[in-house]
Amino acid sequence: MRVLLIDDHALVRKGIGELLQSRGVQVVAAVGSGAEGVRRAVELRPDIIMVDVKMPEVNGIETVKRLRAAGVAAPVVMLTMSREDTDLGAALRAGAQGYLLKDMEPEELLPALEAVLRGESVVAREMVGTLAGLVRDERGAPPASLPPADPFAALTPRELEILGYLADGFSNKAIARALEITEGTVKLHVKAVLRKLGMRSRVEAAVSAVERGLGRNRSKPGPPPGA
């Protein structure tokens, strides 16, 4: 994965860049302005572009518009401190595929970027209710009729799959064997599930998953040969 960072704060650029590089991501450039970001995007053709919203001169929303006008097709993810509904709506209308908050858990960033590269749209859990309200308003329904946002809608397909295994009583080790992934990866997904659902324990999440019919009563895999 080749990433271009656009953020006017040098400390943020350095921190995010080091975080991504520590996870095997190539940061092709980290620049401090929207105008320079557009130039480097055209030149470097990154796989994904991360843009701050609140920047001087050329803000993040205008940067996304200029990227699209310049023919840059790479998905754009906003990474910002702004929780304003106007910024979320403007970013998505401009063509961004994601809207994440800078106070998110570090281990959730890479899975979010990978989801965007798979064609999914990602929005911070804290902003899902705002997004639902924006969609409802654009359809002409009165905001007062907006039902509570479904936190399960914020889960990725992989997170839903792992939640189903939790509902069937699988341990992290058993889930890892069943899905042929590392136990550490399972732990990260479980933590993300709990955070997105606003739950404190895997038991609470499992009970909620069972109530929604996510469990399939899978038989647990036995230990590997020689174990």
Which residue would you say has higher pLDDT here, 138 or 208?
208
Do 161 and 132 share a structural domain? no
109 and 176 fall within a common domain: no
CA distances to 84, 89, 134, 145, 203 from 54, rounded to whole Å, are 11, 14, 20, 31, 40
Q: Do 198 and 140 lie in a common domain? A: no
Q: pLDDT, tens digit, for every residue of 136-161?
A: 555 454 444 434 456 787 888 888 89
Q: What count of Cα atoms within 13 Å lies in the side-chain half-sphere of residue 124?
A: 22
Question: Are residues 200 and 179 located together in one domain of the fold?
Answer: yes
- Do 123 and 17 reside in the same domain of the chain? yes
Give pLDDT, residue 224.
Answer: 44
Which distant-in-sequence residues (6+ apart) come within 8 Å of 116 by Cβ? 48, 75, 77, 97, 98, 122
Q: How many domains is the chain partitioned into structurally?
A: 2
Q: Per-residue pLDDT tens for 23-38?
A: 999 999 999 999 999 9
As a whole number of angstroms, the distance between CA 64 and CA 207 comes to: 41
Residue with tokens 């939640």: 163
Domain that holds residue 185: 151-211
Instruction: Please check whether residue 221 lies inside any domain of the structure.
Output: no
**Same-domain pairing of 17 and 126:** yes
Which of 123, 145, 167 is the last residue in one of the domains?
Answer: 145
On whether both 158 and 141 belong to a single domain, the answer is no
The average pLDDT across 99-125 equals 86
Say yes or no: 128 and 19 in one domain. Answer: yes
What is the pLDDT, as a whole number, of residue 37? 96
Supply the angle between the helices 202-211 and 183-197 in degrees, to the nearest 10: 70
Let me know the angle formed at the C-alpha of 122 by 121 and 126, rounded to the nearest 5 degrees: 140
Residue 219 counted as domain residue:
no
pLDDT at 202: 77
Query: If you average pLDDT over each of 124-138, 173-187, 199-213, which comes out highest?
Result: 173-187
pLDDT at 50 (0 to 100): 97
What CATH code is carried by the domain that includes residue 80?
Answer: 3.40.50.2300
pLDDT at 215 over 70: no
Same-domain check for residues 7 and 99 = yes
